[in-house]
């Protein structure tokens, strides 16, 4: 995500923190869009994944995404994730579908849930929502946080720790231009 988007989302997080809900906030620099969660991957599978990524990227051009709105998954009665939305985009949907199909060909399970592009801002540790957090989130449902120019996809390693996940980029492959 571009610095401007991360900065706007960081300011929103600071506003939401005032409500003291039991949320583990994602560091603004770690905010990202996940196309496909692969789970535990053996080291010997990595080169095959990168090769598939290269083939996918040859067939897709860079595109823009508009980051807009805020919400809670699955709902305010059972809050688990606070997210910023990614406006529907046929180019994004096509890239996601291509990634899903190609990853299935090399042995990864198809995602059963419908793709709902979003940027995770925080995860609830408990369902406690303090004050009017759900109301303030609703008040931001149409906010525009910026535009992201998507020019590459990356394979990211996520390592969980008590202080939150640590991400490291294994590979970045650029879309065709």
**What distance in Å separates the CA atoms of residue 162 and residue 152, rounded to the nearest whole number?**
30
Rounded to two decimals, the pTM is: 0.91
Segment 146-164, tens digit of pLDDT: 999 999 999 999 988 777 7
Catalytic residues, by residue number, are: 32, 118
In the structure, what pLDDT confidence band is assigned to residue 131 with cuts at 50, 70 and 90? low
**What distance in Å separates the CA atoms of residue 17 and residue 136, rounded to the nearest whole number?**
11
In the structure, what pLDDT confidence band is assigned to residue 132 with cuts at 50, 70 and 90? confident
Domains of the chain: 3-174 (3.90.1140.10)
Segment 108-129, tens digit of pLDDT: 999 988 899 999 999 998 877 7
Which residues are within 8 A (CB) of 17 and not within 5 positions of it... i.e. 6 or more apart?
23, 25
Instruction: Report yes or no: 127 and 74 within 8 Å, Cβ to Cβ.
Output: no
pLDDT at 118: 96
> Tokens standing for 65?
């995404």
């Amino acid at each position: 995500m571009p610095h401007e988007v991360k900065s706007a989302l960081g300011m929103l997080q600071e506003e939401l923190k005032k409500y003291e809900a039991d949320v583990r906030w994602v560091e603004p620099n770690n905010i990202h869009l996940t196309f496909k969660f692969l789970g535990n991957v053996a080291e010997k599978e990595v080169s095959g994944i990168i090769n598939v990524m290269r083939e996918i990227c040859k067939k897709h051009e860079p595109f823009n995404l508009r980051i807009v709105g805020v919400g809670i998954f699955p709902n305010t009665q059972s809050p688990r994730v606070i997210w910023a939305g990614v406006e529907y985009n046929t180019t994004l949907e096509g890239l996601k579908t291509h990634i899903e199909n190609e990853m299935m060909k090399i042995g990864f399970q198809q995602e059963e849930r419908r793709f709902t592009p979003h940027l995770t801002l925080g995860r609830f540790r408990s369902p406690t929502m303090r004050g009017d957090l759900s109301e303030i989130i609703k008040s931001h449902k149409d906010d525009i946080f910026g535009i992201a120019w998507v020019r590459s996809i990356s394979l990211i390693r996520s390592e969980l720790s008590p202080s939150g996940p640590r991400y490291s980029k294994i590979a970045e492959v650029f879309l065709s231009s």
